[in-house]
């Protein structure tokens, strides 16, 4: 079948299955099967897809129609211009988190010999992106989940960062030693009661990576409470949080003498807290 016809059939099937952005998803999936970029698929509508490729595409389309996230099917999610390997053991990197990396990066010199720690690293996306952006930095990537750390390890190897990115299994600060110029984290922050309202696709992601406990701050709170002792003078704390969470946290930090800013994400949601100990 021709690419254009196949995409039309696929888009209709995904739309009928109630999948968001059916056309884009169909294009990404076909590009994945053909081993090409999505743009190639868009400009080569007359190209004939082999029977084998068509069969594979249709089977992946069925998985997508049944609610599997695209990144679970392709095994990859782009993040800060890098391909990050993803499995169901880790949160799929989000554009908001790319935003956090961009915003905090402006606070540091490109060539600086910094030490950064990424708490709740999951796939390792933040740690890897920072290590790529800051070629002289060392990054410690921490997670409580050994399954997540295995994925992070693959990403560190894939991006040839084993010399500068270390992995540590730890429940927050429990096993962490040393001090850092930046503590960055996209912790689980969704209040437990809201987890049932998440979309079908987000429910395919690990609950551990999403569940912020009763009020959504049950991971963030101990993370911040001990942060002071792990920061070098002038060091930064940078967090991604849920809509509505940054101001109460920023005010709490200000009360204990931190200088805290709240920043918006690309969707105009106040989502980030950047803070420095005075």
Residues near ligand GLN (CB under 6 A): 91, 94, 186-190, 202, 210
Minimum gap (Å) between residue 216 Cβ and ligand GLN: 9
Pick 27 or 185: Cβ nearer ligand GLN? 185
Minimum gap (Å) between residue 188 Cβ and ligand GLN: 5
Distance CA 93, CA 83 (A): 10
Pick 48 or 243: Cβ nearer ligand GLN? 243
Contact 277, 228 (CB under 8 A): yes
Say how many C-beta atoms besides its own lie within 10 A of residue 136's C-beta.
12
Pick 65 or 187: Cβ nearer ligand GLN? 187
Distance CA 266, CA 174 (A): 33
User: Tokens for 211?
Assistant: 């569940």
- Closest CA relative to residue 241, chosen from 96, 75, 37, 119: 96
β-strand 82-85 against 165-169: which pairing, if any?
A: unpaired
Minimum gap (Å) between residue 165 Cβ and ligand GLN: 20
Contact 31, 38 (CB under 8 A): yes
- Closest CA relative to residue 93, chosen from 84, 104, 105: 84
Minimum gap (Å) between residue 58 Cβ and ligand GLN: 29
Minimum gap (Å) between residue 233 Cβ and ligand GLN: 29
Minimum gap (Å) between residue 41 Cβ and ligand GLN: 28
Pick 61 or 274: Cβ nearer ligand GLN? 274
| Cα atoms in the 13 Å half-sphere on the side-chain side of 22 | 17
């Amino acid at each position: 079948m021709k690419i254009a016809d196949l995409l039309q059939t696929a888009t209709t099937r995904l739309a009928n299955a109630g999948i968001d952005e059916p056309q884009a998803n169909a294009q990404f999936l076909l590009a994945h099967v053909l081993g090409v970029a999505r743009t190639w698929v868009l400009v080569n509508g007359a190209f004939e897809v082999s029977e084998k490729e068509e069969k594979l595409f249709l089977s992946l389309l069925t998985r997508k129609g049944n609610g599997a996230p695209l990144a679970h099917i392709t095994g990859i999610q782009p993040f800060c211009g890098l391909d990050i390997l993803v499995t169901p053991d880790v949160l799929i990197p989000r554009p908001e988190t790319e935003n956090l990396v961009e915003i905090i990066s402006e606070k540091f010199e490109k060539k600086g010999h910094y030490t950064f720690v990424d708490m709740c690293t999951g796939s390792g996306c933040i740690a890897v992106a920072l290590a790529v952006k800051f070629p002289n930095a060392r990054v410690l990537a921490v997670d409580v989940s050994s399954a997540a750390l295995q994925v992070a390890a693959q990403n560190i190897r894939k991006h040839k960062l084993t010399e500068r990115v270390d992995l540590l299994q730890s429940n927050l600060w429990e096993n962490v030693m040393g001090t850092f110029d930046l503590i960055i984290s996209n912790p689980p922050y969704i209040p437990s009661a809201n987890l049932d309202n998440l979309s079908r696709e987000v429910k395919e992601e690990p609950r551990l990576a999403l569940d912020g406990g009763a009020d959504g701050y049950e991971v963030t709170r101990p993370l911040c409470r001990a942060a002071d002792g792990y920061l070098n003078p002038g060091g930064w704390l940078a967090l991604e949080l849920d809509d509505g969470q940054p101001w109460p946290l920023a005010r709490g930090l200000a009360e204990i003498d931190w200088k805290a800013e709240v920043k918006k994400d690309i969707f105009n949601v106040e989502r980030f807290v950047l803070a420095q100990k005075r």
